[in-house]
Amino acid sequence: MQESILNLTKADIFQRERLILKDVNLHIAKGEFVYLIGKTGSGKSSLMKTLYADLPLQIGEGTIVDYNLKTLKEKDIPFLRRKIGIVFQDFKLLYDRNIFENLRFVLRATGWMDKDKIKAKITEVLDRVGMLDSINKMPFQISGGEQQRVAIARALLNDPHLILADEPTGNLDPKTSMEIMDVLHQIHKSGKSIVMATHDYALILKYPHKTLKCEGSQVFEVVQKTV
């Protein structure tokens, strides 16, 4: 049996007091690529936020990259987030500094001190996503697709075991979405586990993987052709 990187057992997902998803059982193996689909308001984002500890797990059991979500203390959340890379729909870049400084900010915040190692790591991840030529540009000087590539590079900085991508192509046109998907696919082929929330069924059809659906307060696996 493959080593597990993410487990939820009989988990109830809440947004404040409101129950969003009930009795979620989710088991993702190391190296897996899993889609999370469902209509707006079906619970995809709430589930993702629970996985990176933005929402607490109140009922049920859950572990992610060896952290227990049920007993996770606030002081341990930054350490959990070093082991997972998070990619958001709206990029969340710092628009008052260039691409290099955006990534350096993350490394310094997570304890990196050596200037040469910082520069080497930033060069490595930008090269990996095809954005090394833009290292000195400001975010507003590059396109939305390029900003998302930088956001993916940022997620790779601390060599995460798992990447959580919450609607990473939601603000992009179809051609750019496919390009971003190619980048994520290459990262997956290198051995990273990826959980990607999406409503873009064209991507799912082109790059089929295990697919989970949020609907009617439940999460269940769907067969590709019935998506």
The DSSP call for residue 142 is S
Domain boundaries, the chain: 4-226
For residue 201, the model assigns a pLDDT of 87
| 159 secondary structure, DSSP code | -
pLDDT band at 16 (very low <50, low <70, confident <90, very high): confident
Instruction: State mean pLDDT over 146-171.
Output: 95
pLDDT of residue 31 exceeding 90, the answer is yes
What are the Cα distances from residue 19, in Å, to 16, 43, 132, 137?
A: 8, 10, 44, 43
- Give the span between the Cα atoms of 222 and 227, in whole angstroms: 7
190-227 pLDDT, tens digit per residue, is: 999 999 999 888 899 999 999 999 999 999 999 865 44
Kindly tell me if the per-residue pLDDT of 108 is higher than 70: yes
Distance CA 20, CA 44 (A): 9
* pLDDT at 1 > cutoff 60: no
CATH class of the structural domain 4-226:
alpha beta
Q: In this predicted model, which residue has the larger pLDDT, 1 or 180?
A: 180
Give the pairing of strands 67-68 and 4-15.
Answer: unpaired
Determine if the pTM surpasses 0.85: yes
Over residues 83-107, the mean pLDDT reads 95
Tell me the average pLDDT across 86-100. 94
Contact (CB, 8 A) for 33 and 145: no
Query: What does the mean pLDDT of the chain come to?
Result: 93
Strand partners, 67: 64
Q: Are 122 and 179 in contact (CB under 8 A)?
A: no
Average pLDDT estimate for 112-136: 97
**Residue 110 confidence (pLDDT) above 90:** no
- Residue 62 φ/ψ, nearest 5 degrees: -160, 135
